[in-house]
Amino acid sequence: MHYEMEELVPIVGRLAQKYTANESTSVTYEKAEQLMGAVLYCIHEAELGEPQEHTFDWDEGRSRGELAVSGKKLSAEQAYKMGADCVEKKTRKALKLYHEILPEFSCYENTCLQDTFIKGLPEFFKWYDVVFCPQDTILTLDYPVLKDISRLSGIDRVYEFINCIRLEQVFLKKFPQDYVVEILEQYTRRVSRSMESGGTDGDWDGFYAYSRQEIMENLCEIVFTSVLMHILLRKPLSQQEFQEEERVQLQELFSRAEVPEIRDRLREAAEVLFQQYDQEAAQGQARMGGALSGYLADYLSGAIDGLAVRLKQLLFTPFG
């Protein structure tokens, strides 16, 4: 929805007056830019509407904004107030979801995930300004999730980040903690060995130490990739360690196949996994319902394209 500047400036003026506690409408140029950004952010929120409870897709999990439902263009003032209300509601929902995740949250001793989720997010909620600067994300959110949220800012980005973390925790908790830890340890050993040998599989004497605490990649993707490799090899998940001949078999597969073929093979393997989740949900054996199972499948599937490219280029080392 587009509004002319003459419609927006009065809103910024009233916001500036509120910012100065009704003492003045005069603020610095930088502050005026910030307040204009706040107004535009809220109007955009009004267009989007607010996310529904416990949904995990930013586009599908939103109610239609009242601007879209009404079928008519509201005034800039009406749109701003509507959007500001959406921002406040979304912030409360994000905080609620965060506290729902916390009790069973595990970072698997990974520093990046712990610092971002345990240390960083409370600071966001402490300092986030829903009125004067809702567009500010505050945090860099260093832990990489499997969904591109770079186009989002403010509470939009943080809310989606928390959703992604919840899905990842659901997936990782399908396995015993020591199982996940072992996969991460295998991954770091492989990376260390590759660094030391210049990218080959030479002997490793431990000079390049790389621990799971230092991993900057997405933990969920590492475990997901390991599971897919097991499925491709028809190897029981209980046999975590890949043997040399199995590593060679996988590497030959990825070196000979083109990216589309690798992607298709990965999707087929993922479908086997997702069908199992659907069966568990249908039988009431899973900790999540069918809807959440579907969101998790969509989330993990979104990582397959990038994974196929990296496997083709041998830039990803999932073989412990």
Q: Which of the four pLDDT bands, split at 50, 70 and 90, describes residue 19? A: very high
Give yes or no for residue 258 having a pLDDT over 80.
Answer: yes
Q: Classify residue 88 as exposed, middle or buried by CB count within 10 Å of its CB (0-12, 13-18, 19+).
A: middle
Mean pLDDT of the chain: 87
Q: Are residues 189 and 113 in the same domain?
A: no
Q: Are residues 224 and 118 in the same domain?
A: no
pLDDT at 196: 60
| Planar angle of CA 284, 289, 291, nearest 5 degrees | 145
pLDDT at 209: 66
Give yes or no for residue 128 having a pLDDT over 80.
Answer: yes
Give yes or no for residue 320 having a pLDDT over 60.
Answer: no
Q: Are residues 106 and 237 in the same domain?
A: no
Average pLDDT over residues 259-283: 88
Average pLDDT over residues 87-108: 98
SS3 at position 309: helix
Q: Give the range among 116-130, 193-207, 217-231, 258-272 with minimum mean pLDDT.
A: 193-207
Q: What is the spatial distance between Cα 136 and Cα 138, in angstroms, rounded to a whole number?
A: 5
SS3 at position 63: coil
The range of the structural domain enclosing residue 281 comes to 176-312
Within 8 A by CB and 6+ apart from 269, the residues are: 228, 231, 232
Q: Would residue 320 count as lying in a domain?
A: no
Average pLDDT over residues 48-61: 57
Residue 51 pairs in a beta bridge with 62
Query: Residue 118 has which token pair?
Result: 């345990």
Q: Would residue 318 count as lying in a domain?
A: no
| Planar angle of CA 154, 40, 9, nearest 5 degrees | 140
pLDDT at 70: 53
Q: Tell me the Ramachandran region of residue 22: left when phi exceeds 0, alpha when psi lies from -120 to 50, beta otherwise.
A: left
Q: Are residues 78 and 200 in the same domain?
A: no
If one counts the domains in the chain, the total is 2
Q: Would residue 293 count as lying in a domain?
A: yes
Q: Would residue 51 count as lying in a domain?
A: yes
